[in-house]
Amino acid sequence: MLQGAKPPSANTAQSASIAHPRVYGIEMIELPEKVAEFFPYKDVRPFQDEFIRTIHDAIREGRSAIVEGSNGLGKTIAVLCACLPLAEEENLKILYVARTHRQHERVIEELSRFSETQSLWCLGSW
C-alpha cells in the first residue's frame, strides 16, 4: 500500500469540484461518480474531462482507445483515474508500461496523490 494511504472519505472536496459544470470557462462533461472520487486535483484542465471519459467508456465497453494530447494536458492522471475505479470494481490489476524512467516516475508521482483518498497497492521496477 502506498505510504499514508487512508480509506476514501464519503465527502471529499475533489468530488465536489470535479462535478462542477464549468472549468476554465469550458463546458465540462460529467464524469462517473467513482472516477471523480479518484481524481486527486481541485480542478480539471480543459479537455481533460473528455479524455478521462473516453478512456473510461472504452475500458467499460471492452474497446481499445488511442488518444493523444499535448504536454501538460494531464494524460497520466486522466488514464489512471479512468482505469483505477474499474480495476477496483472488477478486482483487476493494471499493467502500466512506459518507455523511459521519467515516464515511470511520473506514474508513481500521480499514484502517490491517490494515497490521500484511496487505498492502493503498487509494485514497480525500473
Give the domain ranges of the chain. Answer: 13-114
Q: What is the mean pLDDT of the chain?
A: 74
With bands split at pLDDT 50, 70 and 90, how would you rate the model's confidence at 55?
very high
Res. 8: pLDDT tops 70: no
Reference 73, options 51, 54, 95, 57; nearest CA is 51
Query: Are 87 and 55 within 8 A, CB to CB?
Result: no
Q: For residue 61, count CB atoms less than 10 angstroms from its CB and return exposed for 0-12, middle for 13-18, buried for 19 or more.
A: exposed
With bands split at pLDDT 50, 70 and 90, how would you rate the model's confidence at 19?
very low
Reference 49, options 73, 37, 31; nearest CA is 31
Q: Model's pTM, two decimal places?
A: 0.68
Please tell me the predicted confidence (pLDDT) of residue 52.
92
Q: What is the mean pLDDT of residues 77-90?
A: 90
Euclidean distance between CA atoms 28 and 23, whole angstroms: 7
Which residues neighbour 41 within 8 Å (Cβ) at sequence distance 6 or greater? Answer: 14, 77, 113
